Amino acid sequence: MITKLTHVCVYVLDQESAYDFYVNKLGFKVHTDAPMGPGNRWLTVTPPEQPELEITLFLITEGGVFDAETVKTMKALVRRGSFGPAVMTCNDVLATYEEMKSKGVEFKKPPTREFYGFEALFVDDSGNWFSLSQLNP
């Protein structure tokens, strides 16, 4: 049986900028930062309270599974906000919203009450959007 989720992939346009966003603005920790040749690296970060889940900030670049046309399409899709890869949770969405805004994070939606608690939507530096949720106790 499957036991755990260990890696998830977020496609990014620029790894240096993604590093700054996820580490300095979201407060994630760097798990691994390994050079993979010119202009590319294996960069994974973990949520502050979930050190066992690596989020790989995967550069959309030519090589491997991406040819030039796919890179162009993927970049356009990410940039335009077509992908919403995950839901992140916090203890207090209003405090977290205030803090993230003070650090310059862009929100598509401020916190609103939902059936299960509260939800806000924010965008990373590439264009991926995430739900920031506070679940009912």
Residues numbered 61 to 90 that lie near another protein (CB under 8 A) are 63-65
* Beta-carbon contacts of residue 134 (< 8 Å; ≥ 6 apart): 89, 90, 91, 92, 93, 96, 111, 117, 118, 119
Per CB under 8 A, 104 contacts another protein: no
Per CB under 8 A, 7 contacts another protein: yes
Nearer to another protein, 14 or 99 (CB): 99
Per CB under 8 A, 14 contacts another protein: no
d(CA 46, CA 58): 14
d(CA 27, CA 98): 14
By CB under 8 A, name the binding residues for another protein: 7, 9, 29, 32, 34-37, 40, 42, 56, 58, 63-65, 91-92, 94-95, 97-99, 102
